[in-house]
Amino acid sequence: MTEVIRDNLKLPSSSASVPPGYMRLEDALNVLGGQDYPSEWGLLPGWSHMPFRYSKKDKRYVRHEMRLMGTRARLQKPPVHLDLTKAEKQACTRLYRKVRDTLREALFNGELKADAAHYVSGVVTRIDTPVVWWKQARPIFFAGNIVIRDAQLRDELADVIIEKEAFGNWLKARSKMRAKVASEAMLRTIGKRVADHGRAHNYRIPKADTLHLVRRILKDANRTFSDRQFYAVVWKQPGKGPGAPKGEPRARYPLFLKDLEQEIRAIVVEATAQ
């Protein structure tokens, strides 16, 4: 089997070395990106120039670098010249956004911890302020630095580093959790069946009833899904019948639900058996 050669992401201001037992932020991003998007990460045209982004203010694509200017760190935006189509540029930036958002969310929620390796002193300190992952997103994910700021002192730059063992454990736990998440294809099929069932029997199942029914069925199958997935995939399916059940359809609504439940369970059984 031919080994796939990838262009690894390189953050401009990231140090070449890290303390024993740690990995650089860019290394974590490369592992995560290669795992989640193996056919794209490091293989897209122009990836060797990443990370770049489109600056609406400057109306051009830029990279980022952190520099100390006087006592304060400043984020620089040198332009990057890319011999790529618009679609190729957008493919790179969209893919990077997906991966960095996944890692940032884990760091923000405390699922994964990171440390700051101070440039001047070499001291390693825990990054324990969750909001930093949003306020310093560009310095961290585009330059590779975090700014240690004290109003009374000179800014200090530090590398963002992660313990290798902790990162490996997070990846394993995430893989187990993802195995339990219902696939989008399954949810889309369920949503279509809900819509078809309503049309066939001249009724529309309310949103709350649909959510409760699908969640209960998937829980029995040891599968989970988020509210975002429900609204974006299941409930998004068009044409769910003429409206809330009235008259005869209303009297038969419990029977409709029971029949629909059996059909959805059959979908889940077939999907999870594959």
Structure tokens at 87: 């679609």
- CA dist., res. 210 & res. 188, Å (int): 13
pLDDT of residue 2: 59
pLDDT of residue 248: 58
Within 13 Å and on the Cβ side, how many CA atoms surround 16? Answer: 0
Higher-confidence position of 40 and 2? 40
- CA dist., res. 53 & res. 64, Å (int): 9
Residue 110, pLDDT > 90, answer yes
Please report which confidence band the pLDDT of residue 75 belongs to, taking 50, 70 and 90 as the band edges.
confident
Structure tokens at 164: 């290798």
Please report which confidence band the pLDDT of residue 237 belongs to, taking 50, 70 and 90 as the band edges.
low
- Lowest-confidence pick of 16-30, 106-120, 128-142, 147-161: 147-161
CB atoms inside a 10 Å sphere around CB 22: 20
| pLDDT tens, residue by residue, 244-263 | 555 556 778 889 899 999 99
Residue 205, pLDDT > 90, answer no
| pLDDT tens, residue by residue, 135-173 | 999 999 999 899 988 777 888 889 999 999 999 999 998
Residue 1, pLDDT > 70, answer no
Please report which confidence band the pLDDT of residue 88 belongs to, taking 50, 70 and 90 as the band edges.
very high
- Lowest-confidence pick of 3-7, 104-108, 201-205: 3-7
Structure tokens at 243: 């409206």
| pLDDT tens, residue by residue, 206-229 | 888 999 999 999 989 888 888 888
Q: Name the CA dihedral angle for 167, 168, 171, 175, rounded to a multiple of 10 degrees.
A: -160
Please report which confidence band the pLDDT of residue 101 belongs to, taking 50, 70 and 90 as the band edges.
very high
